[in-house]
Chains A and B, each alone.
Chain A
Amino acid sequence: MEYFLELFFGGLTRGSIYALIALGYTMVYGIIQLINFAHGEIYMIGAFVALIVAGVCTIYGLSGVSILILAGIIAVIYASAYGYTLEKIAYRPLRGAPRLSPLISAIGMSIFLQNYVLLAQTSDFLPFPRLIPDFAFMEPVAHIIGSPELVILVTTFITMILLTLLIKKTRVGKAMRATQQDMNMARLVGINVDRIISLTFVIGSALAAIGGVLVASYIGQVNFYIGFLAGVKAFTAAVLGGIGSIPGAVLGGLVLGWAESFAAGYISSAYEDVFTFGLLVVILILRPAGILGKASKQKV
């Protein structure tokens, strides 16, 4: 039972990070039907910015949690700026183009950002300070769920509640939902569609940056390539849950995290990815639109 719980929380932690990143994929896809392949790189940039901020803060003698919060905020701002710019220069000029063009543009941006960080920073693995302290009261259960996992889970939970409130309760959220349903109609009723799309990128990037900072301080290392690998998994999570669906992305992330954790724990860690993608295949056969995805009819 203890072993089960260990795997359960391990999977939950990993899954909630996948979910945070998957939200960015799914929100963008929901609105402009674009798979933003550069999204993983935004996550990586978030982690790098946090690393730099943490380095500066340490010089000024701040303590762990305050650094984490400050680094998190600055990383979110930076990553949002990157997301906004990305949309502006790489996707907006291709708005009317065939669907493949922005997709290729996205892959190009992904490669560009990776190599930009590689050149501007380093190809080495860099140590990331362990910003989340080991809480003493967690000690008896620290091997099942420690304070870093707890902080990740709580942060993710709060972030998702805020996102839900934003989308369900605010005017901006309403505009976003309207744009998702029908972009032309939204434009006709006076919604500034371009701004809503920009906003979607900003929100998605902010979520990815939060994920990046959390993972980096949990794992303790960053590298220019982490975004690609996390991006592939998060994209899988988004497809698994039903791309375009926000609750689907969260569910997909968690299912993927658990599947990996239990497969590695009970069957074989060497075949972790095999089980992950095997699960994806099975679910897509049974429910082609993903777990929570709605099968939309193609307008011809």
Chain B
Amino acid sequence: MKKMTILISTFALVLSMAATGFAADTIKLGVAGPHSGDLAPYGIPAMKAAQLVVKKINAQGGILGKQVELLIQDDQCKPEIATNTATKLVTDGADVVLGHICSGATKAALGIYKDAKIPVMSPSATNPPLTQSGDYPNFFRTIASDDMQAKMAVDFAINKLGVKKVAVLHDKGDYGKGFAEFAKKYLDESGKVDVVLFAGITPGAMDYSSIVQKVRKNGAEALIFGGYHPEASKLISQMKRKRLKTIFISDDGVKDNSFLKVAGDAANGAYVTGPRDLSGIPLNAAATAEFKAEYGKEPGAFFQEGYSAALALLNAIEKAGSTDYDAVTHALRTEYVDTPVGRIKFDSKGDAEGVGFSVYKVENGAFVELK
């Protein structure tokens, strides 16, 4: 009996040695994100997406003749843990990393990957400087950054609507004010438009007649509002009542059916930005179906982006023909790949081209995507 145990454990030992021996011949995809703690719902869908992608690719024979191995690490969305996570992944020999999820954790970890020359792709870190600062040439993401919406709205106002005077209002909240500040920045930078008014309004105030009158007095041709639908519908109704011709432009917080319902006729002719309609992309539906077949429920936050990031990373390795850092990042920037968020490649800063927002116009009480 005792001999038997020794025999088995020897076998086990040999087997495990063999496994580590093989490990050099696998492609290692690190996955980092919150998999425990209160922010876990943001990290687990991307992790499961990576598992689904890897399972599928391995079943088809892997990449460059090698199997893909997942290295999963939990960072709890905490910057101080994320640096440990990153070090661990680097030590374990990750070739590419899918992660991290939270912008703060991503920023903390990026330097470590940069020194180790590992390409990193986040499905969810939307903080603009991560790509725009140029500090992290190894960083990519499959989600649009926070300021993309504002840029979209501003480009639309300047190029499509041709307005010269714009008022920017916000609801003083993080989301609305952030949007409004980016909008103002891009308007100022364009040099073609006067920001005639930049102001906060009080959410829940009885009415907005004074601020509407102020918009009129300043002669704004368009009003860009950062905030949510209750204030937006109040504003747009009062603008109509006060006979303003100012064009109303707003954000994703307003792209809600409640806005159409509450503002009614007054909403017609307004523009809002919102995530692109992805339902027409076959891979998107396929990925959701795959998840449902495996887990029997809806995927959750950042699943599609995570799925896309896993596909994009592995595709780049395949196109590059190796896991060499320069070859892989070059492939990410030059080779298109079909993903659930569309057919994408990455720009020089690391943002996915073609991912992000569309402008919608309210026509006859419905949002219509403008191509």
Seen from chain A, the residues whose Cβ lies within 8 Å of a Cβ on chain B are 3, 6-7, 10-11, 13-14, 17-18, 124-127, 130, 134, 142-143, 146, 148, 215, 218-221, 223, 225-226, 229-230, 233, 260-262, 264-265, 268-270, 272-273
Cβ A6 vs Cβ B262 within 8 A: no
CA distance A18 to B183 in the complex (A): 35
Cβ A261 vs Cβ B209 within 8 A: yes
Cβ A221 vs Cβ B210 within 8 A: no
Cβ B258 vs Cβ A7 within 8 A: no
Residues of A within 8 Å of B364, CB to CB, are none
Query: What would 5 A/B residue contacts be, using CB atoms closer than 8 Å?
Result: A127-B261, A215-B207, A219-B238, A220-B263, A229-B206
- A-B pairs, top 10 by smallest CB distance, nearest first, are A270-B200, A10-B209, A264-B210, A6-B213, A265-B210, A127-B262, A269-B211, A229-B204, A261-B210, A143-B243
Residues of A within 8 Å of B264, CB to CB, are 127, 130, 220
Interface centre among B210, B211, B229, B230 (most CB of A within 10 A): B210
Q: A220-B233, A220-B237, A230-B206 are in contact. Are A265 and B214 (CB under 8 A)?
A: yes
Whether, in the assembled complex, B160 has its beta carbon less than 8 Å from a beta carbon of chain A, the answer is no
Measured between C-beta atoms, what is the minimum distance from A299 to chain B in Å? 38
CA distance A61 to B255 in the complex (A): 32
Interface centre among B199, B207, B230, B266 (most CB of A within 10 A): B207
Residues of A within 8 Å of B213, CB to CB, are 3, 6-7, 10, 265
Whether, in the assembled complex, B349 has its beta carbon less than 8 Å from a beta carbon of chain A, the answer is no
Cβ A272 vs Cβ B202 within 8 A: yes
Residues of B within 8 Å of A269, CB to CB, are 169, 199-202, 210-211, 214
Q: How many residues of B contact A (CB 8 A)?
A: 33
Residues of A within 8 Å of B205, CB to CB, are 229, 260, 272
CA distance A233 to B230 in the complex (A): 19
CA distance A270 to B217 in the complex (A): 17
Residues of A within 8 Å of B234, CB to CB, are 219-221
Q: Nearest residue in A to B234 (C-beta to C-beta)?
A: A219
Measured between C-beta atoms, what is the minimum distance from B42 to chain A in Å? 24
Measured between C-beta atoms, what is the minimum distance from A18 to chain B in Å? 8
Extra contacts besides A6-B213, A270-B202 (10): CB < 8 Å = A7-B210, A10-B213, A13-B209, A125-B233, A221-B262, A229-B205, A261-B210, A265-B213, A265-B214, A269-B210
Per-residue A-contact encoding for B186-224, CB less than 8 Å = 1, 0 else: 000000000000011110111101110110110000000
Per-residue A-contact encoding for B3-38, CB less than 8 Å = 1, 0 else: 000000000000000000000000000000000000
Cβ B216 vs Cβ A219 within 8 A: no
Cβ A218 vs Cβ B202 within 8 A: no
Residues of A within 8 Å of B262, CB to CB, are 125-127, 220-221
Measured between C-beta atoms, what is the minimum distance from A212 to chain B in Å? 11
Of B169, B201, B202, B229, which contacts A125 at CB under 8 A?
Answer: B229
CA distance A10 to B208 in the complex (A): 9
Q: Nearest residue in B to A134 (C-beta to C-beta)?
A: B241
Measured between C-beta atoms, what is the minimum distance from B245 to chain A in Å? 11
Of B207, B242, B244, B258, which contacts A124 at CB under 8 A?
Answer: B258
Q: Nearest residue in B to A229 (C-beta to C-beta)?
A: B204
Residues of B within 8 Å of A264, CB to CB, are 210-211, 214
B residues 254-286 with Cβ under 8 Å of A?
258, 261-264, 266
Of A10, A126, A223, A270, which contacts B207 at CB under 8 A?
Answer: A10
